[in-house]
Amino acid sequence: MKKIAVLTTSRADYGILSPILKEILKRKSLKLELIVSGSHLSPNYGCTINEIERDGFKISSKIEMLLASNTPSSISKSIGIGVIGFTDALVSIKPDILILLGDRFETLSCAIAALPLNIKIAHIHGGEETEGAFDNSIRHSITMMAHLHFASTREYAKRIVQMVGGNEKVFFTGAPALDNLKYVKFYKEKEFEKIIEFPLNPKPLLITFHPVTREIENTKYYIKELLSALKHFNLPLIFTMPNQDTYNSIIRKEILNFSKDYKNSKVFENLGTEKYFNLMKYSLAMVGNSSSGIIEAPSFKLPVANIGTRQEGRIKAKNVIDVGYKREEIIKGIEKAISKEFKDSLKNLKNPYGDGKASKKIVDILEKELLK
């Protein structure tokens, strides 16, 4: 059997990777070696490793690498700690190939560890642009270290070809997150209200706002402008907490303080893919700067007010309304997103990120490559 190591570092990438993990387990010629790290292991982020274990996946290695702080220097130090931990894990596992997704600093640590060990890397979601985050540099760095490339759109595949100087190892597969539409259970509205213990009539706004890592000095200003804009609407609000990026604690603190006074709101540390997809189904609109508004939301024909520069450069469907950081700009964006006219304009929307069959395509290519 050929060993495929897969790294997951957070609730976000686990939801994307989960269909791939299931597909690998179906193949008799392949053995899954799952490496778990990052915020999965942190009580501050809900210990989401428990979710992985509940889903029945066997974990090959757990790598502690995050420092308690989220300052720029602590992120740099965490990368170094991760390189050491991932090196030990990869030497022990001896994978035939390593699957890395996206652009997290934890993922960069693993790529750096794999490079001198001459372990082939299969990179998912390369070729994309997110100009407001240093993730952009990380993503392109991993692309240059990778052996196989699985792009979420044809345009991104073309960009990878330009970067690596050839197309025989670059494949357009679509975004694997969309494969979850086949697996998750969608609940009736009243049933789902009981699960999340929050009413869905009137429909809520779903808010996720992450640090803009190229503009961290403005973090407090950005989140305060967003929260001030949300007050304007007097709508029910559901917040999901930011990921483990620089100064995420500032955003977390502001949201928690806001929700204490704004009674018609609820904050979730970790929803998981199933609950998150159900919320996308029942929400009035999404607000914030999450990639889920760009990649998954079009499949729900869900309007998105996308704030600022974090996702700048990504291919966006017509459901996405780009707005600035100021309160007045955010209000205008949300007003457009929740209007009947805009919602009606999305009836025939197609998702540019694929057809929900990416996982099988990716694992088919990996199996063929490994069995040569």
Residue 114 has pLDDT above 80, yes or no: yes
pLDDT at 219 over 80: yes
**pLDDT at residue 19, as a whole number:** 96
CA 282 to chain centre: 20
- pLDDT band, very low/low/confident/very high, at 245 (cuts 50, 70, 90): confident
The strand order across the sheet containing 237-240 reads 265-268, 237-240, 205-208, 285-288, 304-307, 320-323
Query: What Rg, from alpha-carbon coordinates, does the chain have?
Result: 20
Contact (Cβ atoms closer than 8 angstroms) between residue 120 and residue 144:
no
Continuous segment of H or E residues that includes residue 360: helix 358-370
Residue 318 has pLDDT above 90, yes or no: yes
Q: Give the CA distances from residue 369 to residues 4, 51, 144, 168, 364, in Å, rounded to whole numbers and listed in that order.
A: 12, 31, 19, 12, 9
The whole-number pLDDT of residue 355 equals 87
Task: Tally Cβ neighbours within 10 Å of residue 223.
Answer: 22
C-alpha 304/C-alpha 323 separation (Å) is 10
pLDDT tens profile 70-104: 889 999 999 999 999 999 999 999 999 999 999 99
> What tokens does 359 get?
């996982």
Token pair listed for 131? 């100009």
| pTM attached to this predicted model | 0.91
Check residue 69 and give its pLDDT: 84
Average pLDDT, the chain: 96
The confidence score (pLDDT) of residue 117 equals 98
pLDDT given for residue 281 in this prediction: 98
**So what's the pLDDT on residue 270?**
82
Residues 6+ apart with CB under 8 A from 366: 4, 30, 97, 99, 122, 148
pLDDT at 47 over 90: no
**CA 128, 186, 59, 363 torsion-angle sign:** negative
Type of residue found at 114: A
pLDDT at 43: 83
**pLDDT above 90: residue 261:** yes
pLDDT in tens, 128-156: 999 888 889 999 999 999 999 999 999 99
pLDDT of 46 > 80? The answer is no
Cβ contact 180:278 at 8 Å: no
At residue 6, φ and ψ (nearest 5 deg) are -130, 130
pLDDT, one tens digit per residue, over 263-305 is: 999 999 888 899 999 999 999 999 999 999 999 999 999 999 9
Is residue 1 packed enough to be buried (19+ CB in 10 Å), middle (13-18) or exposed (0-12)?
Answer: exposed
Cα–Cα distance between 165 and 310 in angstroms, integer?
Answer: 28
pLDDT at position 244: 78
Confidence band (pLDDT; 50, 70, 90) for 325?
A: very high
What is the C-alpha separation between 132 and 139, in angstroms, rounded?
A: 13
Structural domains of the chain ordered from first start: 2-175+355-370 (3.40.50.2000), 189-344 (3.40.50.2000)
